[in-house]
Structure 1
Amino acid sequence: MRVLNYNLLFKGILFDLIGVATMSIPVVGPFLDLAWAPYAAKKMGEMYPGRNGKIASVLVFIEEILPFTDIIPSFTLMWVYTFLIKTEKDVRTIPIRVKN
């Protein structure tokens, strides 16, 4: 049974709304994106550790820094991918030494 982390979903929706809100401010909005993009990328990496989180962090940075792409809900899409689409378990194997 898969456990869905709704705290990450709510936090992601909030970050997506903040990203869209910067687009709604006429003159200052694009300059706010310059500050928001690195912060959003950092938060994405913290929320989703590992390789997928690093890739999503780069993508959210690019999405937030480019004009007119703020409407893409990056954080929500990452949650959907992580908890609803991705089927493989993120299991790390550690070798165990066995004495003969």
Structure 2
Amino acid sequence: MSRLTLLAATLLLLASAPVGAQSQPAQKGPNNNAVNSSDQNNSKAPVAGRNSFTEGQAKSRIEAAGYSNVSGLQKDDEGVWRGKADKSGTKTDVSVDFQGNVNPAQ
């Protein structure tokens, strides 16, 4: 194959590639967070789902939401961490769902 033919074939391939296919930036993702910050619940009750928080992370989220003396944390069949904690001098049941929502028992 001659150099001219090879050059022509290469230019033809480059010209047929979609414009911007290589330079388009990746999307930053949808506007719904996989995990919410400790001060932003998106539900008033725990949301069932596969929970990747460790027991220590669940405890830290509960404490960041203003609770203390967190105890008895167990992950239930719906993926929700449940336990007991104190807030404003009152012992209450609390939960942390897979989105990081911290809620008192309803």
Q: TM-score range by the shorter chain?
A: under 0.3
Higher share of residues assigned helix: 1
Higher share of residues assigned strand: 2
Report the TM-score, using the length of structure 1 for normalisation: 0.27
